[in-house]
Every structure is written in C-alpha cells, then in structure tokens.
Structure 1
C-alpha cells in the first residue's frame, strides 16, 4: 500500500499546528501515521511552549503516531538532503499509510511537491495533497 502525503504550508507556525491537529483527527483510523514537523516554532516559542510541544509529541507517540522533527530550513533548498534522508528512512522503517509533512514558512511548496514526484519516490506515494493554511 502506498503512502498518502499531506504537505501543510503557511506563514504562521501556530496556524499550521492547528491544521495539523485537524488532519491528525481526520486521519485517525486510516492506518499508521507519521508526522514530520517543522522546528520553526522553536525559534519563537518560550521554554514553556517548547516543553509543552515535547509533551504533545510524547502523547502522539503513545497514540501510535510516529513524530519526527526536521531541522530548520527550506525543504527544497537548504534542507533537501535532510528531507530525502529522513523520508527514505521513515518510509522504509515505519511504512506509514499517512504522512503529514509540515513545511516551514520559507519553504517552496511547489518545489517540495516536485521533489516528492521524482522517480525514486514513485513507488512510495499514493497521492500528494497540498494543504495551504491562510491566516
């Protein structure tokens, strides 16, 4: 079975996080879920907010959601190698049915989609949906 991919894009990290929560709820019961989240929030979050996010990650893991925090940077430019490496490992080891991939505000969604449609990923993805958070 191929993985369904949701790319969550938008300028505001808090609004992206809210949309990710909605998507997680909507995808509940659709198999194994992996969340590859942006670390952009950490650059603006207080220590308490960061601690809350770590607790949230632990709760997600307890629900069976694999959580991976990506290094900062545009996933099609400066962090392309990091994305490819983590993506290959996640698909091979976790074999998620659903992948939620949060793009940082400076990422280029169209370029990330192009990257995910490259030949090495053809056999892995069922479809790729861009979820743009406007707010």
Structure 2
C-alpha cells in the first residue's frame, strides 16, 4: 500500500522568538484522525512535555549536536527516513535550531528520494518584532534567510513590543511582500 504524501512544515525563527510556543499552538489544532510527528533540532529542554504530547498523540524526535543541514545532515536524513518509513505521518513539523539554515533543509527535502513521499507546505517564520530594531538581528545572515524563505510570518510577543517595533514589523512585511499569510 502506498502512503500519500507527508505534509511537511518547517517552523523557523531566530533564537528566543517563541518557535516552541508556536509549535505547541499548532499541535493543539491537530485533527484526531491525523498522525503528526515533530522533529526538533534544539539543544537542552524542548518545552514539549510528554503529557502534552501523549494527550495530542504526537511523536517527537530530536536531532541534537548541530545544524540539521550541516553538522548533523546525515543523522537528520537517517531520522527523516525512519520517520517516513516506520511512522508514516500525515504531517511532519520540523523545528530547526534558531541558528539553523532552513533554506538548506528545504534543499534536502526537495531531493529526488523525497519527491514522491513529502510535500513541502508553507514555511512558517516566527518573528519577535522587538528584534527588528536591533542591528545584530537585522544584519545577521541566518535571520535574513529565515525572513526570505517565509511563506507565513507568525508575529510572537507582540504584547511586549512598543509602537515603533510594530511599525518596523509592518514596514518589513511591505518590503518582503512574500508571505502569503501573516498571523
């Protein structure tokens, strides 16, 4: 029996923007009849407790020790192959490290061996608007890549942002004009 395409979302964003919180909110939306798997590339605590995961019937896998597309690329692909073959999820949510290269992860997912198995859904980039006024974020290469590949911007921590940060965020969205959605 051939399994239909596994839908894949990459949830990216710089360190500390709230990717895990966004992931938790997505998991709460999971239909009961679907099988979802989460693949994390974070260091230390995930913030996703086992009770929350078992309640939502979600399996979680971690690839630790470096970037999914660089240092641990082979381990990432091995883990990805195992998930596809043995778990056959309807949806796979990938959360790379905040310093990961999501564009390179997309390149891996578009390789021939995955074309008939995976369907890349919109890439979600989580943004903390307070970072936009800080040069160390704005000019960081990885931060720029995360913004450039976004199909969806999720604005997090907006309640902590001042009017200037919110205005900078709106200006940035106008400049990129790429995301099809903004949440």
Q: Contact between 2:68 and 2:105, CA under 8 Å: does it hold in 1? A: yes
For the pair 1:93 / 2:96, whether they are aligned, the reply is no
Instruction: Identify unmatched segments of 5+ residues in structure 2.
Output: 129-183
RMSD: 1.9
Q: Bigger radius of gyration, 1 or 2?
A: 2
- 1:46 is matched with none
The residue aligned with 1:121 is: 114
Which residue, 25, 29, 41 being the options, matches 2:28? 25
Contact 2:41 2:67 in 1 (8 A): no
Q: Return closer, same or farther for 1:58/1:25 CA change in 2, 3 Å cut-off.
A: closer
Q: Secondary structure at the match of 1:26?
A: coil
Counterpart mapping for 1:20-59 below 5 A: 20-29=23-32, 31-40=34-43, 42=44, 50=45, 53=47, 56-59=49-52
Aligned pairs, number: 125
Preserved CA contact (<8 Å) 1:3 1:98: yes
Q: C-alpha offsets along residues 24-82 of structure 1, whole Å, 9 cap, x if unaligned? A: 12333361000111232x1xxxxxxx4x947x134303432111121131111111101
Query: Aligned match of 1:130 in 123, 138, 147?
Result: 123
Q: Which has the higher contact order (CA 8 A, sep 6+)?
A: 1
Partners of 2:102 and 2:33 lie apart in 1 by 25
SS of the residue corresponding to residue 29 of structure 2 reads helix
**TM-score relative to the length of structure 2:** 0.62
Q: Is the 8 A contact 1:73 1:79 kept in 2?
A: yes
- Given candidates 1, 5, 10, the residue that maps to 1:7 is 10
